[in-house]
Amino acid sequence: MTTQDWMTFIKGLQDLNGPALLTALPQMSVPDLTAVCQEWLSGKLGTIDPTNVLCGGDYAEQFLSLPAHAAVMYDAALEYMHRHPESIANDTDCAAASLNLVDLLDKAGQHGAATAAANRAARMPVKRPEQNVQLAVAVSKGGDMVTAYSLFKRAESAGLGSVAQAMGVSMSDLNQMGTFLARAAAGGRSFR
């Protein structure tokens, strides 16, 4: 990748220039993209809105079918937002982006990275109560049943009826999950 390609990509992120990103992303290897994201996270690339980086991940996944590129961008943006919560825009859905990242990493067989992403998401804003249940499942896969149960309790406090409806599951299923997580959290069990 040439220096000009790097600059085009970085400028595309700064300006959220879709055509520039759609042109540059397929030319970048995953290690090159990872290096750019690490430079950004270390503060060496100037100001880039993390929401733009999430959008770049959406372009990579939805328009270019580059899931590994999308995962790198989602992970970098979410890590930035985790480190700098003041950078989270009101309309940014960190939990949705995190759940998407978890799914991409699981599909790629990167289960440890998926668990780490879910654990980070558990410490970030969640917009919809059902996302707490989804994150509880993801966190529990890594064995942290205490955090998983805590996430479930957050969903429960919003009302399991609305959570069940949003998720398309029965109240009985959610109640069973809650009972299982409570016991597992008390006894240290995992879904595995």
State the pTM of this model.
0.92
At 117-140, the pLDDT tens digits run: 999 999 999 999 999 999 999 999
Is position 108 within any domain? no
Is position 149 within any domain? no
Is position 179 within any domain? no
pLDDT at 191 over 50: no
Is position 62 within any domain? yes
Is position 66 within any domain? yes
Q: Total structural domains in the chain?
A: 1
Contact (CB, 8 A) for 164 and 174: yes
Is position 157 within any domain? no
Residue span of the structural domain in which 1 resides: 1-92
171: left (phi over 0), alpha (psi -120 to 50) or beta: alpha
| Mean pLDDT to the nearest integer, 58-64 | 97
pLDDT given at position 168: 95
Q: Rounded distance, CA 162 to CA 168, Å? A: 10
